[in-house]
Structure 1
Amino acid sequence: MPLPLAPAAAFALRAGTVALAAYAVRRSIRKGRTDQRAEDALDDTDEGIAVHSARDRDQKNAAARFRRVFRWGDRGLEIDAAAIGRIRLRRV
């Protein structure tokens, strides 16, 4: 009995395309570094969301922090998520 190659070839083509795209994305991601100044700024961020604009600059700044502890019996999980963002719009 002959083996139908068309479905296997279509699957191999799709899987190869996905693998190639994943490899390309992986190669384009730079290796990061930990900046202690940024870590300290995130640790100093107040809980909640804050937005403000500086009078001497044409930019909007935003900061957000979420800290919660979830407990299940005698074990728990602490979630501490913080973000700082800046949007600067300039006419050139």
Structure 2
Amino acid sequence: MAVPLAPIAFTALRFGAVAAAAWYINRRARPAPKHVWRERALDDLPEGVDVTMDRSDSESNAHAGARLSRTVRLGQGAAFEIDIAGMGRLRVRRAD
């Protein structure tokens, strides 16, 4: 029975393109200093999702923040803490 090579070759080409793009981005990236105030703001977020909305006559605001923190243990070996945090804002104002 013949093996269809076209789907396998296409998948290998896609993975190769993604790997080449990641390698290129990694080579072009320059190390940047940490912004302590940003790190502090993300560290101060509570666990879970928080959404706040505010409306006035001239504008509407929606603020959202989310944080997920988990510890993953690989068998009896090392444990890794995964901390995902993000904040966002949507502001709509009337333009005159």
Q: Same fold (TM over 0.5)?
A: yes
TM-score when normalising by structure 2: 0.57
Write the letter of the residue equivalent to 2:63: N
- Partners of 1:48 and 1:58 in 2: CA distance: 24
Aligned partner of 2:6 in structure 1 is none
Deviations 1:37-72 (A, max 9, x none): 111110000010000024566210000001000101
Q: Does 1:87 align with 2:56?
A: no
Write the letter of the residue equivalent to 1:53: M
- Partners of 1:63 and 1:51 in 2: CA distance: 7
Instruction: Identify the match of residue 68 of structure 1 among 70, 74, 79.
Output: 70
Write the letter of the residue equivalent to 1:40: R
Aligned length: 70
Q: Percentage identity across aligned positions?
A: 39
Shift of 1:91: 2.0
Bigger radius of gyration among the two = 1
SS of the residue 2:93 aligns to:
coil
RMSD (Å) for aligned C-alpha atoms: 3.0
Write the letter of the residue equivalent to 1:62: A
Aligned partner of 2:80 in structure 1 is 77
Structure 1: runs of 5 or more not aligned: 1-14
Distance 1:45 1:88, change over 3 A: same
SS of the residue 1:34 aligns to:
coil
Structure 2: runs of 5 or more not aligned: 1-16
- Partners of 1:32 and 1:83 in 2: CA distance: 19
